[in-house]
Chain A
């Protein structure tokens, strides 16, 4: 690729990304009422998205079922349990991440 093609490639990638973020706001401008179905959908979606994002973090797992996969799952469960128990974001993330680092480096 030459410089012009590189700039175009980066520009197109940026435009594609912007399209996915702006499209709903363009289709439903703020001065008009949000259609009932979309409004309900917007209320239904977020918990599903948060669940989807957790799975997204584990997207490389099915293709690489090795010891590291086991560590990632174990550390994930530890994070969740600590959070159910203490409900302290920093504590849960800290303990979860430390347990992953320990598992990874000492086993």
Chain B
């Protein structure tokens, strides 16, 4: 393995440490939940591997014990994961690398993979493409492994360290603060926080994300239009 690739793996490992901690906790919780619902450990493990979208997997786990409704499963998947559309639009350029790695990175673009891959400034000696690939791989691995642990040892594991799941919240706060420090113009950041928190209070947690995205896009559209008009009139 050449140096840039090894460096990419080490750097990815370092950058994903908080995610490892968070996923270990949430993944085990998810595995234990499925175990308690009476599922073999293969269910949480394979679902973690194939779906790789935490919040949706909890929902699917609860759907599996009810009657079969394929259309509602599909719609739920689209609604819960609609935010990924935003990730992909933002990553069109960064993920545009040659070869098979790209397809795996798109497949594995969960909240954490997107956030780390978008925000990390990669040092020169590290290969950028391989870094983003390893971040995705490692996150995928942490998630599948911890879901499997929860499913396997569901009845034996008892958590004493209540509150460790806050690692994920802390990670997103840190990435957001980094963004605030780095940017000159806070319009987009504030827009994201304000729109989504107002809609969360009004609409509740089920539907606030897709509508926030629509509203943010609309705000951007109006802003761009104004800019064009101001340009034309000057």
Contact = CB atoms under 8 A, between A and B. Distances in A.
Q: Across chains A and B, which 10 residue pairs bring their CB atoms closest together, nearest first? A: A16-B77, A51-B192, A48-B192, A51-B193, A24-B88, A47-B188, A20-B84, A96-B170, A59-B205, A47-B189
B200 A51 contact: no
Interface stretch (B3-11, B49-57, B126-134, B138-146): B49-57
Contact of A54 (B51, B77, B90, B172): B172
Contact of A53 (B51, B172, B217): B172
B58 to A, nearest CB: 11
Q: Is the interface of B mostly helix, strand, loop or mixed?
A: helix
A49 B87 contact: yes
B153 interface: no
B68 A49 contact: no
Please report whether the interface of chain A is mostly helix, strand, loop or mixed according to DSSP: helix
B78 interface: yes
Interface of B: 17-18, 46-47, 50-53, 56-57, 60, 63-68, 70, 73-78, 81-93, 95-96, 106-107, 109, 111, 114-115, 118-119, 161-164, 166-179, 181, 183, 186, 188-193, 195-197, 200-201, 204-205, 208-209, 212-213, 216-217, 220, 224
Given A62-B200, A97-B166, A51 B191 contact: yes
A21 B87 contact: yes
Interface of A: 1, 5-6, 8-25, 28, 30, 34, 37-60, 62-63, 72, 75-76, 79-80, 83-84, 87, 89-90, 92-93, 96-97, 100-101, 103-105
Nearest to B193: A51
A27 to B, nearest CB: 9
Contact of A13 (B60, B192, B197, B209): B60
B106 A97 contact: no
A9 B188 contact: no
A93 B174 contact: yes
Contacts, number: 255
B179 A50 contact: yes
14 contacts: A16-B73, A17-B84, A20-B78, A20-B82, A21-B109, A30-B96, A46-B90, A46-B118, A47-B186, A48-B188, A51-B191, A56-B111, A57-B173, A97-B164
Contacts of A16: 56, 73-78, 81
A15 B74 contact: yes
A49 B73 contact: no
Contacts of A51: 176, 188-193, 196
Contacts of B85: 20, 23-24
Contacts of A49: 83, 86-87, 90, 114, 192
Contact of B169 (A18, A25, A52, A76): A76
B131 to A, nearest CB: 16
Contacts of B109: 21
Given A42-B89, A60-B205, A52 B118 contact: no
Contact of B73 (A9, A23, A24, A53): A9
Nearest to B118: A46
Contacts of B166: 72, 75, 96-97, 100-101
A97 B89 contact: no
